[in-house]
A and B are shown apart, each in its own frame.
Chain A
C-alpha cells in the first residue's frame, strides 16, 4: 500500500500537510485546511484509511495538528474519524492525538463535539505557538 504525502501550502486557499504512512500506521494532518474543493481533497484520504483498515489491519496513530479548518473541512474530518471508529469497533487499535493552539479557546469544544459524534476517545494536547 502506498503512502500519502502532501506538502501543505498557504497561497490561494490553505492546503494542509498530509503524511499517511502504511508501513508504521502513523497518519498526520497538519497546518490549515481551507480548500477550493474540500470533498475532492479528502476523498482519497478517506479511501486510504478504509483500505488500510480492511487490508493492512495494523494499529493506527492518527495525529491532527490543524491550527485552522473551515466548517466544510470539519465534515471531512468527521468522515475520517468515522472510518477510525468502525475500525475500532471491529477490533482495530486506534490512538488519536489532537494537538491544538492553546490560544484557540474554541478548539477544545470542537474536539469534544467530535467525541460526542463518534464515540471515539481523542487525546487533547495543547501547545503554545510562541
Chain B
C-alpha cells in the first residue's frame, strides 16, 4: 500500500482548502456538499459549479471505487480521497481511488475521448450516453462528461499501477473563479 500513500502525499503538497479520505457514503457526501456550497466563494455562480462538480466526482468514488467499505448502518460505499485546493483565480478538485484493471482500461479511453471533444460535441456525447441503460444505482456513463461541461476545462487524469490487479486512479479538474462566462 505504500505506493497509494505516496500518491496521496503528493496530492497534499500544495495549499489545501479541504481534504477528505474515507468512505463516500450518502451522509458524508451531503454534509460535505453543503459546506462546500456555502463556504468556498462569494460568487453564487461559481459556488453552484463547485457544488455540482464535487457531488459528481464524489459519487464516482462512491459507486466505482474498487475499495468498498460498509458503514455502521450496513451501507456499502466506495473509499477514496478528495482534495480541494484554492488558488488566486481558480480551484483544483482532485479525487483518487482504486480501480480494477478492466475499469482502468475503460477510464483511460473515456478520459481521452472527453478531452478530445469540443463543447457542442461533448453535449451530444452526453445525450447519446444518457440514453444508454443506467449502471449501478442508476449511475454511470455521464458523471465525468458533466464535470467537464460544468467546469469548462479539460480533466487531467493518471492511472498508477499498484499491483497486478489494481490501479490508483487520480482525476483533477480546474474551476476558474473569474471565467468571463461566469457572472
Contact = CB atoms under 8 A, between A and B. Distances in A.
A11 B44 CA distance: 22
A45 to B, nearest CB: 13
B26 A13 contact: yes
B67 to A, nearest CB: 19
Interface residues of A, number: 31
A34 B182 CA distance: 25
Contact of B26 (A12, A39, A72, A105): A12
B159 interface: no
A119 to B, nearest CB: 13
B165 to A, nearest CB: 27
Interface in B12-44: 25-27, 29-30, 33-34, 44
A68 B51 contact: yes
Interface string A5-16: 000001111100
A34 B55 contact: yes
B49 interface: yes
Given A70-B55, A72-B138, A109-B123, A10 B30 contact: yes
Interface of A: 10-14, 34-40, 68, 70-76, 78, 101, 103-106, 109, 113, 116-117, 129
